[in-house]
Structure formats: C-alpha cells, structure tokens
C-alpha cells in the first residue's frame, strides 16, 4: 500500500491556481465555501477528504500513468464541454432489463435519475424510453468463459449517438449486460452474477451505490474532468471492481470546483439535494446523531443503507457551509 501525498502547496495550486484571473474567481466563493474546499488541503483519515491509497500495481494509477489535471488545466481546456441554456439535459438510456432487480427496474432507474440530478445540481436529468438489446442492433457475443451475453461497446456508443436529443448535454447508456470493447478482450462490466441467497434490497443497495458512482464518474468525464490523482475522489480511475468500490461517492474539492464552474450552483444547495436524495429530513431537528432520521420509512423504501457514511459526510460538509 502506498499513500499518494501531495503537499499543501501543490493541492492549493491545483485548487486555486497561481494565475491572477482564477485566484480572483476563487475569491468569489463565500468564506464558508472556501473553508469547505480548503478542507481538502489537509487530508487525513478523520478529515472530510482523504489521500489516495494505491493498494497494488494493478490499481489504476500505477497501471495507467496519466497527466494530472489541476483546476487551471481543466478550465483552460478548449475541448471541455460546458452546459448552456439549449444543452442542459443529461439523458439516461436503459438498455435491456435489469435482470434480478426485475420488477423494481423502473423504480431503480428513477432513483439513479434523481441521484444524478442532485449530483449535477442545476441540470435536469431525463430518462429516454428503455430499449431492448435487439433494438440496438449492436454486435454481441456470448463470452466463452462466463457464458454471459456481451455487447460491443463501440456499437452501443454509436447507437446512443443517434438517440441523442437536441437539447442533450450528454447521453449515458446503462445496462446490466456485460460489455466488451474488442474481440480480444474479456472485459466484464459490473457484477452480473447474483447470489440466490441475497435479499434483493441489500443487493440492490450495493448495486445502487455502485451504479451511482460509475454513472457520475462517466458523466464527470463528459464535462472534461479527467481522472483525479489529487485526493480520494469519485473521479479516480479504477482498474477493477474492488478499487472502484473503494472510491468515495463524491468529488474532492478540486474536482468539485471544476463541476461548480461548469454548472454554477451553490455548493450547499448541491449537498442538500444529495442529502435529500439519500433521505435525510432537512428539518433542523434531525441532525446527525438523531438516529430517527436514519430509519425513515417510505412507502417503497430506497435501499440507501450503503449510503449511510455518505449521509454523515454530507452533514459535516453542510455544517461548515452553514456554520452549524
Ligand atoms: Zn474514468
Ligand atoms: Zn477529485
């Protein structure tokens, strides 16, 4: 295990930059917002933000050396995509059924949609009518080892390109079917094998957490945000499922600033929307520590047990932003 430790100065430059114009823009954040963002300059196990730990050479960073993207290189990237009034909707296209999640597919996808809408706060997220695998006319195969049906990724992307509505900022396809990028690859996306003995909700919970991470990571790239090597962050690259599960649910301050300038939200509003999605009661009576808030019962409960740590984390962020 190796901890990637950047100095305070390096992180400061990555977040604020040394360039006058960007320093000036940064100073427009409120004092509380700056306090929150600067929590990232002092990462640690009990802090809001953590350092990245590399567990083995098969982890993303050692396996795929990439150039670090600080806030300035993101901001100045002429290829990055910025949502505007006529392109401000993220579309989600489901392909095929969600297998064992079965009867709950519609509900499950709706949770994902709501999560993305809170995460990319200020943009709207819409579902396109689901399509079957056959309708996509993509090349597919049956993997000789896993015997799973697999779709060729490139075909799926060109299918999505054709489905993209005019007002789309981007379109993302979600499927429970394995994907493969090339004939020579045995690539498996997600966890397709399900244990019979598992409760649908505990399974769906891990699945939902994982889907939320993967989905927001992929959409993050569409803004031009590259893999994060600054701090532990949902934008870290991941080479395998275990590494992907290790990523936190949300952005580090450097990536958060990248998203914030693209969409222009108040940081606290975004955290509140995420908290609300998890199911936190916004009334001042139910702050963390108040266990009643953690067990609120809904007619059709969202499987958010796996989001418990994220909920506490969001409350700590809001404590800073709202001086609670
Ligand atoms: Zn990525
Ligand atoms: Zn980051």
Tokens standing for 267?
Answer: 């940081």
For the stretch 244-265, pLDDT in tens is 889 999 999 999 999 999 999 9
Tokens standing for 98?
Answer: 């969600």
Say whether 205 sits in a helix, a strand or coil: helix
Could you tell me the distance, in angstroms and rounded to a whole number, from the CA of residue 65 to the centre of ligand 2? 16
Residue 223 and residue 81 in contact, taking contact as beta carbons nearer than 8 Å: yes
For residue 17, count other CB atoms closer than 10 A to its CB: 20
Radius of gyration for the alpha carbons in the chain, expressed in angstroms and rounded = 20
Could you tell me the distance, in angstroms and rounded to a whole number, from the CA of residue 283 to the centre of ligand 2? 30
Q: Would you give the end-to-end CA distance of the chain in angstroms?
A: 37
For the stretch 141-175, pLDDT in tens is 887 877 777 888 788 888 888 888 999 999 888 87
Could you tell me the distance, in angstroms and rounded to a whole number, from the CA of residue 180 to the centre of ligand 1? 16
What predicted TM-score, i.e. pTM, was given to this entire model? 0.82
Ligand sitting nearest the alpha carbon of 217 = 1
What's the chain's average pLDDT? 84
Percent with pLDDT over 90 in the chain: 54
Could you tell me the distance, in angstroms and rounded to a whole number, from the CA of residue 72 to the centre of ligand 2? 14
Whether the predicted pLDDT of 272 surpasses 70: yes
102 half-sphere exposure, CB direction, 13 A CA radius: 5
Q: Which of the four pLDDT bands, split at 50, 70 and 90, describes residue 290? A: very low
Whether the predicted pLDDT of 284 surpasses 80: no
pLDDT for res 287? 42
Which of 33-37, 58-62, 116-120, 154-158 comes out lowest in average pLDDT?
Answer: 154-158
pLDDT top residue among 183 and 25: 25
Residue 192 and residue 290 in contact, taking contact as beta carbons nearer than 8 Å: no
Mean pLDDT of 15-25: 97
Ligand sitting nearest the alpha carbon of 234 = 2
Whether the predicted pLDDT of 177 surpasses 70: yes
Ligand sitting nearest the alpha carbon of 238 = 1
Ligand sitting nearest the alpha carbon of 214 = 1
For the stretch 101-141, pLDDT in tens is 555 677 888 999 999 999 999 999 999 998 888 888 888 88
Which of 57-71, 135-149, 223-237 comes out lowest in average pLDDT?
Answer: 135-149
Domain boundaries, the chain: 89-219, 266-324
Could you tell me the distance, in angstroms and rounded to a whole number, from the CA of residue 156 to the centre of ligand 2? 28
Torsional sign, CA 47, 309, 123, 322: negative
Backbone φ and ψ for 25, nearest 5 degrees, come out as -60, -40
Say whether 8 sits in a helix, a strand or coil: helix
Q: How far apart are CA 273 and CA 111, in angstroms?
A: 13
Could you tell me the distance, in angstroms and rounded to a whole number, from the CA of residue 73 to the centre of ligand 2? 14
Tokens standing for 101?
Answer: 């999640």
Could you tell me the distance, in angstroms and rounded to a whole number, from the CA of residue 306 to the centre of ligand 2? 21
Ligand sitting nearest the alpha carbon of 233 = 2
Report, as residue numbers or ranges, the catalytic residues.
218
Could you tell me the distance, in angstroms and rounded to a whole number, from the CA of residue 41 to the centre of ligand 2? 12
Could you tell me the distance, in angstroms and rounded to a whole number, from the CA of residue 207 to the centre of ligand 1? 18
């Amino acid at each position: 295990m190796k901890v990637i430790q950047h100095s305070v100065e390096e992180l400061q430059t990555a977040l604020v930059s040394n360039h006058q114009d960007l320093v000036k823009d940064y100073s427009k954040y409120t004092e509380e917002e700056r306090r929150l963002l600067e929590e990232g300059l002092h990462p640690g196990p009990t802090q809001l933000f953590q350092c990245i730990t590399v567990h083995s050479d098969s982890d993303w960073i050692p396996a795929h050396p990439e150039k670090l993207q600080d806030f300035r290189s993101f901001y100045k990237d002429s290829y990055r995509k910025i949502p505007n009034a006529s392109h401000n909707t993220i579309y989600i296209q489901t392909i095929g059924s969600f297998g064992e999640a079965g009867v709950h597919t519609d509900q499950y996808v709706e949770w994902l949609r709501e999560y993305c809408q809170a995460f990319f706060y200020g943009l709207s997220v819409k579902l396109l009518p689901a399509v079957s695998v056959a309708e996509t006319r993509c090349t597919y195969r049956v993997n000789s080892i896993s015997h799973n049906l697999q779709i060729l990724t490139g075909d799926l992307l060109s299918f999505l390109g054709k489905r993209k509505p005019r007002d789309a900022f981007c379109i993302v396809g979600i499927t429970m079917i394995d994907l493969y990028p090339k004939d020579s690859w045995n690539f498996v996306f997600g966890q397709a094998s399900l244990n019979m003995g598992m409760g649908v909700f505990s399974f769906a919970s891990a699945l939902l957490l994982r889907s939320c991470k993967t989905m927001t990571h992929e959409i993050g790239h569409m803004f031009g945000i590259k893999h994060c090597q600054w701090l532990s962050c949902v934008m870290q690259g991941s080479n395998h499922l275990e590494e992907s599960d290790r990523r936190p649910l949300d952005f580090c301050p450097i990536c958060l600033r990248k998203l914030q300038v693209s969409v222009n939200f108040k940081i606290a509003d975004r955290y509140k929307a995420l908290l609300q999605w998890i199911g936190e009661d916004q009334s001042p009576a139910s702050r963390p520590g108040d266990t009643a808030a953690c067990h609120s019962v809904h007619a059709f409960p969202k499987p958010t047990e796996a989001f418990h740590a994220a909920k506490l984390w969001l409350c700590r962020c809001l404590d800073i932003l709202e001086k609670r």
